[in-house]
Amino acid sequence: LMAVMEAVKKSNRDVEGRVLEFSGIEYMIRGRGYIKGLKDLAEIAVSTDGRGTPVLLKDVADIKLGPEIRRGLAELDGQGEVTAGIVVVRFGENVLHVIERVKERIKKDIVPSLPKGVEIVTTYDRSDLIERSIDTLKEEIIKLSIAVSVVCIVFLFHLPSALVVILTLPIAILISFICMFYLGLTSNIMSLSGIAIAIGAMVDASIIMVENAHKKLEEWEEAGRPGNRTDVIIEAAKEVGPSLFFALLVISVGFLPVFTLQAQAGRLFKPLAYTKTFAMLFSSFLAVTLTPVLMTLFVRGKIRHEDRNPISIILRKLYEPVAAISLRFRKTVIVIALIIMALTAYPFIKLGSEFMPPLYEGTLFYMPVTVPAAGITEVSKLLQLQDRLLKKFPEVAQVFGKAGRAETATDPAPLEMFETVINLKPEAQWRPGMTVETLKNEMNDALSIPGVANSFTMPIKARTDMLSTGIRTPVGIKVLGANLEELERIGKEIENAVKDVPGTRSAYAERVTTGYFLDFNINRKEIARYGLSVDDVQEIVQTAVGGMNLTTTVEGRQRYPVNVRYARELRNDVEKLKRVLVPVKMGAPSSGGGMGPGGPSAGGARPLLQVPMGQLADIRIVKGPTAIKSEEGLLSLYVYVDFTGRDVGGYVDDAKKKVASLKIPEGYRLEWSGEYEYLVKTHERLKVVLPLTALIIFVLIFLNTKSITKTLIVLLAVPFSLVGSFWLLYLLDYNMSIAVWVGIIALAGLDAETGVVMLLYLDLAHEKWRREGKLNSLQDLRESVMYGAVKRIRPKMMTVSVILAGLIP
């Protein structure tokens, strides 16, 4: 064997010999010795018989073209194996543009060159999801703009005035897109959502300024039109401008907690926070610069008096008795409000918790786990069976399964790791009443195969989760300690415990010590008798049994490794492996070993011996770890848990109670991971950031009002407004998630803005009464409050209506 290895290594080489000059021409010298195919390998001389007859490689070995050892496979629709290719996009690239260029290259350059009967089938294409999402959001932004315009026209009954509000909207959006471009933010679901949810609030300031100009012009016309119309409009803008600027600034600052989110939550919501903040900041700037200019140009012609506006008449009739009763029974109203707020504790406590609400990607991702050590033949059968069962569902369009690793260093997946992409048909083609969760439950029942733990997720979510925590299921339990056997025992106990938790779909603890190994334990005393080293024996194990790549042939642009090993029939069981021969150097003792061909030499030197491997090493089958994980300096084991019909927080709370009954040895500990880990980390961060943001908002409102009392009045309205949020979430059976908290943060900013606007009109009414000498009694104070609250209901309802109309689409 060693002679074969040496002969092959020395028979595949090109060299250069510098240059020679003949007849004034310079010739570069090349020694051509590369192996160019199987024929060249067959003609390699291993030795001679001493009489000039060479012993060629083809005389002592079978030479053939064969495959590399497979550590992965792919399968389509349960019909059989296929060859699969994966396109990896560089970090920061535009995914949609890359996919389009890949499709174009495949269509133009690859498909025409394919052999007859070979075709390329796309098994996962993210561009459809991206295009559908962006198209939907673009449509919604147009609908939002139309809704805002309609509200303005209905309330003001003056189309040119509505144009003032409408024109500021596209300008603010356009500037936001310019900022996105220069900051490198892509147009995606979250960034466009930030603009979508900001549209209603973006026009609030312009609406109030236009409405206030209408009111001032009404009074100006009643007074006989003294002075200049433009001065009246500018005075109206000055009256409300500063407070509105601070109100919009409060909304912008309210999103500071979102910028502090880390990891997955940060990557998801920061684009939304950036675009919403840009939109609000620019709309604030436009409100105090562009809007007054536009008002002087468009707020002309006949202005319908608010008392003749049917919308305003209805609103006043509805709100006036409510406001009167509230002022008459002030203490009772406050007590009732406090009671309602206290009762809201019930739905808040009952709300479930999750990191993110499920985002339906249009594709399912099936990631089962099975026991290690299954051979590639059995893995192929199992994968094909699973894909065939999945393809039977009428909602499924295509099933593409992969097991093991791809031919890349970035995919170190073991054979027992399955990943199946389930492309679904459009929902209109599903069975009546079918939902994603119901479909996953039916698939889980159909795939109840012994030794397999099922897990369903979405492709993008799966990759994000695995990169973040290494856990492929919604909940994972990490067991940390010093001994693998003990970790596996604890993991099995946890697996059995959480299976009894209501909602559990599957639970599986990694079997870290169930890999099968064929160990060659070298006897150092025995090899010393033959003058062998451990490396001498290991080289035979590595080559004769495992197969070693000795060199690489150069055949044009193609390269093939040359591998040497014993034939399969000489290494397919332990007894035959014991007969693998290890060459012994000359001069070794003659006893106990097999003698090679030829007798003793004339000089008395001993012949080359071949010693059976079984005499030099103890060969046995043992079980051990196929992979070793470590975290924080400790060995680790994962327990994967998938569940259905429950929120993450509630499920983990119940699971913790079950696991708490187990006895965990000293020196070992548990960590709850997966989606739950990010939920906890984000909550801890928000506990710090939210109070800090509230303090900043308090300072901003105080700078505007110059009064602690007024500031507290504005801020104390926020908790009462959250009452409706929590009751609605409870009634609609929504869970508290990071997305919901982001919505509540946005709501709190809008509440503060509404409070500032209400306070602004109460102050203006109070100042008007004082200026006109009407503020002489408590009754006069009540009348001024009623005027500020009821008579100025139109601008407040306009802002609220615009925000609601903007969110309905």
User: What percentage of the chain carries pLDDT values higher than 90?
Assistant: 15
Return left, alpha or beta for 301; rule: phi > 0 is left, psi -120 to 50 is alpha, else beta: left
Q: Which of 600-614, 618-632, 785-799 has the lowest mean pLDDT?
A: 600-614
Element (H, E) at 782: helix 778-786
Residue type, 383: L
593 — pLDDT class (breaks 50, 70, 90): very low
Interaxial angle between packed helices 793-807 and 738-771, expressed in degrees from 0 to 180 and rounded to the nearest 10: 160
pTM: 0.73
pLDDT tens digits, 387-441: 999 999 999 999 999 988 887 777 677 888 889 999 999 888 999 989 898 999 9
Mean pLDDT of the chain: 84
Q: Are 805 and 147 in contact (CB under 8 A)?
A: yes
What mean pLDDT is predicted for residues 523-536?
A: 90
pLDDT tens digits, 42-76: 999 988 877 878 889 999 888 888 888 888 899 99
CATH ID of 2-60, from 3.30.2090.10, 3.40.50.720, 2.60.40.10, 3.30.300.20: 3.30.2090.10
Interaxial angle between packed helices 738-771 and 708-731, expressed in degrees from 0 to 180 and rounded to the nearest 10: 140
Q: Which residue has the tokens 């549209």?
A: 199
Residue type, 730: Y
Tokens of 213: 């100009």
Q: Which residue has the tokens 């602690």?
A: 708
Tokens of 469: 């925590």
pLDDT tens digits, 740-773: 888 887 788 778 878 888 888 888 888 888 888 8
Q: Is the pLDDT of residue 303 over 90?
A: no
Phi/psi for 186 (5° steps) reads -85, 160
Higher-pLDDT residue of 601, 520: 520
| DSSP conformational letter for 376 | H
- Pick from 740, 761, 746, 778: nearest CA to 352: 740
Domain parsing of the chain, residue ranges:
2-60, 85-122
Q: Which residues pair with 314 in a beta bridge?
A: none
What mean pLDDT is predicted for residues 535-543?
A: 89
pLDDT tens digits, 446-462: 998 887 888 888 888 88
CA distance 629 to 488: 13
Tokens of 159: 């189309």
CA distance 366 to 419: 6
Q: What DSSP string runs through 104-148?
A: HHIIIIIGGGSPTT--------THHHHHHHHHHHHHHHHHHHHHH
User: Where does residue 480 rank: exposed (0-12), middle (13-18), buried (19+ CB within 10 A)?
Assistant: buried
Length of the chain: 809
- Pick from 92, 272, 281: nearest CA to 191: 272
CA distance 372 to 626: 8
**Which whole-number Å values give the CA distances from 298 to 169, 307, 676, in the listed order?**
16, 22, 54
CA distance 111 to 123: 16
For residue 608, what pLDDT is reported? Answer: 66
Residue type, 433: G
Question: Sign of the CA dihedral 274, 276, 279, 281?
Answer: negative
- Pick from 373, 369, 620, 629: nearest CA to 488: 629
The count of other CB atoms within 10 Å of the CB of residue 805 is 21
CB neighbour list of residue 9: distance below 8 Å, 6 or more residues apart: 550, 551
For residue 479, what pLDDT is reported? Answer: 93
Give Dmax over CA atoms of the chain in angstroms. Answer: 138
What mean pLDDT is predicted for residues 205-223?
A: 84
CA distance 97 to 337: 54
Return left, alpha or beta for 424; rule: phi > 0 is left, psi -120 to 50 is alpha, else beta: beta
Q: What angle do CA 186, 188, 190 make, to 5 degrees?
A: 115
Phi/psi for 367 (5° steps) reads -125, 75
Q: Is the pLDDT of residue 170 over 90?
A: no
For residue 392, what pLDDT is reported? Answer: 93
